[in-house]
Structure 1
Amino acid sequence: MMNSPPPRAEFKRGVKDCLPVIIGMLPFALILGVQGGQKGMSALEMSMMTGLNFAGGSEFAAVGLWGSPLPVLLIITVTFMINSRHILMGAALTPYLKDLPLKKALPALFFMTDESWAMSLADIHKRKQLGLPLFSLPYYMGVSLTLYVVWVAFTGIGAAVGPRFGDVEAWGFGMAFPAVFLVLLRGLWKGFAAARPWLVSLAVAAAVYLTVDGAWYVPAGAAAGLLTAYFLGDKVGDKA
């Protein structure tokens, strides 16, 4: 097995690889910040919220529920439901983190988000083909820290200028995140057989979203995908 490149080079590679993702992420960070600012949140409050709960979708849900009086229990519940996907994402990374000491694994998981998770799995696949150690913590942190700093900074900027704008969703920036996830999906694509759990998860999540109020489509889609992967795992492995 080949030796991994130096940590500094790996960190820089992670920063470089995530730059295209940042282009799609910036509009969403600004939109979230603007919405928070219009709800009365200061730039500091918005940056603290996004810094402590680095999870994208649940932050939008929290800002959408923000009001007076503040529905704290409802916000906590919805945040937990939406962030439940991180349990599955963390489980998928566990085989590659098992040799890391806890003091390194826990910070790595704190900074994990959808984009860094997907990019790391794609990088693991590339490193396997090159005969390198599968998981590169410097690369992962290069991706994760860059996304974290940019997200927190621009949500704060959005909150600072938010009261000056109208309905920013009407500007059409909402397509930015779906476009980013389609690119990430392409990097993980291994054929339709391996994608069946994803497709089932998508179908179930869409059906629940259209028929049930609230954020139940998130755990429903995650559970459907997990069950599909469990029951079809052997068949997918045989065809891979």
Structure 2
Amino acid sequence: MNSELTFKQGLIDTLPTVFGYIGIGIAFGMIGHSAGFSVGLIFLLSAIVYAGSAQFIMITMLATHSPILSIMLSVFLVNSRMILMSMTTASFFKEEKLLKNIVLGTLLTDESFALGMNKRNYTAGKLSFSWFNAANLIAYTIWALASVMGALLGRLLTDPRKLGLGFAVIAMFIGLMYLQLISDKTLGRALQLLMIGITFILFYLGLIFIPENLLVLVVTLVACALGVGGKRVFF
């Protein structure tokens, strides 16, 4: 990464994350195909819903003929973390028009959010609409295309787990976390490592007591509160 915030640089900075979108997108397409959905419908789900993990839940519930209200509530709860991410992202675009903020918030993903927060370390804490829009657009396009590719490949391979595609996103986030650690000079390394450890513990305990569709949101809120409090008291 560098300090440029142009559209072209946004495309370049996002390229390393593309493999994560491809891996999980193909997995979604294969699962959708195995559930009996057409290639066209799988494409529409990715292009219109564009909800990542929530799409896996949605397609399973559709296949089992779950009530539409239950599907809507489940997708909302799984994606509720995006409210927090959008609020954080919006603070960097206070000077932009409302329409531009809506565009960024609509196409925001976990990956583009993490990439944007890491980019701040190279730009003195600034982000631009052009750069962030490029990151979102390439994510949106690759996700939709990968879903279609998965649906087509589903005719040849019915079990996407055999390819280990699900680990692609995990590997991508590990890489983004590492880049954040080595590039963020505003926080002490001890605080960063402490919060990573606390977050892991919270997720582990949360898997026991908290429903999966609320886990990310609850752990995010608790970890942020602990991080802010810990920084003020001990750092």
Which of 129, 134, 138 is residue 146 of structure 1 equivalent to?
A: 138
1:196/1:76 Cα in 2 relative to 1: closer, same or farther (>3 Å)? farther
Which of 212, 221, 224 is residue 222 of structure 2 equivalent to?
A: 224
User: How far 1:32 sits from its partner (Å)?
Assistant: 0.5
Deviation track 1:183-217 (CA, whole Å, cap 9, x = no partner) reads 11122224231454454333222222244554232
1:213/1:136 Cα in 2 relative to 1: closer, same or farther (>3 Å)? closer
Q: Secondary structure at the match of 1:116?
A: helix
**C-alpha root-mean-square deviation of aligned residues, in Å?**
2.3
1:174/1:186 Cα in 2 relative to 1: closer, same or farther (>3 Å)? same
Contact kept in structure 2, 1:197 and 1:224, CA below 8 Å: no
Q: Indicate the larger mover: 142-151 or 163-172.
A: 163-172
Matched residues, number: 227
Contact kept in structure 2, 1:198 and 1:225, CA below 8 Å: no
Q: What are the ranges of 5 or more consecutive residues in structure 1 without an aligned counterpart?
A: none
Contact kept in structure 1, 2:93 and 2:128, CA below 8 Å: no
Which of 68, 72, 75 is residue 76 of structure 1 equivalent to?
A: 72
Q: Secondary structure at the match of 1:193?
A: helix
**Correspondence for 2:166:** 174
**TM-score, with normalisation over the residues of structure 2?**
0.86
Task: List aligned pairs for 1:97-136, cutoff 5 A.
Answer: 97-128=93-124, 134-136=126-128
Q: Name the CA distance, whole Å, in 2 between partners of 1:163 and 1:76.
A: 29
Q: Name the CA distance, whole Å, in 2 between partners of 1:47 and 1:233.
A: 45
Q: Name the CA distance, whole Å, in 2 between partners of 1:172 and 1:150.
A: 19
Q: Name the CA distance, whole Å, in 2 between partners of 1:201 and 1:81.
A: 20
- Matched residues, percent identical? 21
1:203/1:54 Cα in 2 relative to 1: closer, same or farther (>3 Å)? farther
Q: Name the CA distance, whole Å, in 1 between partners of 2:56 and 2:128.
A: 31
1:91/1:235 Cα in 2 relative to 1: closer, same or farther (>3 Å)? farther
**Correspondence for 2:199:** 201
User: How far 1:161 sits from its partner (Å)?
Assistant: 3.4
1:192/1:61 Cα in 2 relative to 1: closer, same or farther (>3 Å)? farther
**Correspondence for 1:63:** 59
Q: Name the CA distance, whole Å, in 2 between partners of 1:136 and 1:235.
A: 33
**TM-score, with normalisation over the residues of structure 1?**
0.84
Q: Name the CA distance, whole Å, in 1 between partners of 2:60 and 2:190.
A: 36
1:122/1:38 Cα in 2 relative to 1: closer, same or farther (>3 Å)? same
Deviation track 1:93-116 (CA, whole Å, cap 9, x = no partner) reads 232111111011110111110111
Q: Name the CA distance, whole Å, in 2 between partners of 1:173 and 1:78.
A: 24
**Correspondence for 1:41:** 37
Q: Name the CA distance, whole Å, in 2 between partners of 1:91 and 1:192.
A: 27
